[in-house]
Amino acid sequence: EPEVTQTPSHQVTQMGQEVILRCVPISNHLYFYWYRQILGQKVEFLVSFYNNEISEKSEIFDDQFSVERPDGSNFTLKIRSTKLEDSAMYFCASSESSDRWYGYTFGSGTRLTVV
């Protein structure tokens, strides 16, 4: 079964540092998403990306966040200056183009710890 792959699985960073979280969506998917989940809480939407541009973003996705599809396979989330409250599990997801809800699949996540 196709998978969404995320690296690294765990990242520890100092407050104020920049981090880049990487995702490889399923190969024939054209919609890409980032979500986050603070420990013990619900999954929250950050941003969706289609046709090389942001489709939607939540109020969490402020100026310190950015997304990029640098090549044909990777999809990245950059946090410019990390804060303690950015500590969370970050999930990438992707879905098909013909029906954006079809095959909506989450990656295994990156646990980000800001110290």
Partner 1 sequence: GENVEQHPSTLSVQEGDSAVIKCTYSDSASNYFPWYKQELGKRPQLIIDIRSNVGEKKDQRIAVTLNKTAKHFSLHITETQPEDSAVYFCAAPSGAGSYQLTFGKGTKLSVIP
Question: Could you list the residues that contact partner 1 (CB under 8 A)?
Answer: 31, 33, 35, 41-45, 48, 50, 55-56, 58, 91, 100-101, 104-109
Pairwise CA distance, residues 34 & 2, whole Å = 18
Burial 76-102 (b: 16+ CB within 10 A, else e): ebebeebeeebbbbbbbbbbbeeebee
**Nearer to partner 1 among residue 2 and residue 18 (C-beta):** 2
Closest to partner 1 by CB, 65 vs 91, is 91
- Which residue lies nearer to partner 1 by CB, 17 or 97? 97
Q: How far is the CB of 50 from partner 1 (least distance, A)?
A: 7
